[in-house]
Amino acid sequence: MDVDHNNLHLIEPTARYIDSYRAAISEYRKHNVYDFAYPKVGTRRDVARFLRDVDNTRRGLGVKSGYVPSSAFWLVDGRHYLGSGDVRHFLNDSLRKLGGNIGYSIRPAAWRQGLGTLQLALLLGEAAKLRVAKPIITCFDENTASAKVIEANGGVLIKRSNVNNRGKNRLTRVYEIDLTRRPEYDMMYRRGVSISPTANEIEKSDCRRE
């Protein structure tokens, strides 16, 4: 995919990029990536319902039991949907073990272009706006690419623990990023961190839409 690296930014989900989003969902499925509960966006009515649900979740309206309010963002370059991110406003016991405050995923066609590092940096900026001062971020222990993305953004490993995920116990890393201790973050997130278009990353954090 030809990504415009000079125009990368976050937006709230919008119908403008829905065709690109549909294509990305097909890519995720082909690559057996199932971190996200893919919504129905086949018809205009589906799209309207999806966008309404996203807005309600952001506002904390109609949130299901066991879930928490969260703000959804898409990484785009003016032409393509490139990835999804969620900032959860607070955590429940389950999300403290797996999921954390921030989840993110880059579509397969845009893998290995360093986008995950920038995406997480921008999402941390949104977390700061929501006054999430010390966001928790998790990834499975074997997902070293995601761990590098988190650590590149100041993540400090606070523990490893076994978590039941889809019936399997998986060793999970739990990171914390203290935004109050890094005043330079504000400028970093306004400008966007520098990224390498040849970075050998598969940018996908293990997260759940809760």
For the segment 184-201, the average pLDDT, to the nearest whole number, is: 43
Q: Is the pLDDT of residue 175 over 80?
A: yes
Is a pLDDT exceeding 60 seen at residue 26?
Answer: yes
Rounded CA Rg of the chain: 16
Question: Please, which pLDDT band fits residue 203 given cuts at 50, 70 and 90?
Answer: very low
pLDDT at residue 60, as a whole number = 96
Burial class, 159, CB count within 10 angstroms (exposed 0-12 / middle 13-18 / buried 19+): exposed
Query: Domain 9-191 - what CATH class?
Result: alpha beta
Which pLDDT score is estimated for 197?
Answer: 34
Residue of 199, 202, 129, 207 whose CA lies nearest to 175? 207
The reported pLDDT for the residue numbered 139 is 94
- Asked if 112 and 202 touch (Cβ cutoff 8 Å), the reply is yes
Identify the residue with better confidence: 182 or 82: 82
How much is the mean pLDDT over the chain? 86
**Which pLDDT score, from 0 to 100, does residue 122 have?**
94
Query: What predicted TM-score, i.e. pTM, was given to this entire model?
Result: 0.86
Secondary structure of the chain in the HEC alphabet? CCCCCCCCEEECCCHHHHHHHHHHHHHHHHCCCCCCCCCCCCCHHHHHHHHHHHHHHHHCCCCCCCCCCEEEEEEECCCCEEEEEEEECCCCHHHHHCCCCEEEEECHHHCCCCHHHHHHHHHHHHHHHCCCCCCEEEEECCCHHHHHHHHHCCCEEEEEEEEEECCEEEEEEEEECCHHHCCCHHHHHHHCCCCCCCCCCCCECCCCCC
- pLDDT at site 125: 92
pLDDT value, residue 36: 64
Torsion of CA 209, 110, 17, 61, to 10 degrees: 10
Percent of the chain with pLDDT over 70: 84
The residues spanned by each domain of the chain are 9-191
What pLDDT score was predicted for residue 166?
Answer: 79
**pLDDT digit string, tens, across residues 28-58:** 989 887 766 688 899 999 999 999 999 999 9
pLDDT band for position 108 (cuts 50, 70, 90): very high
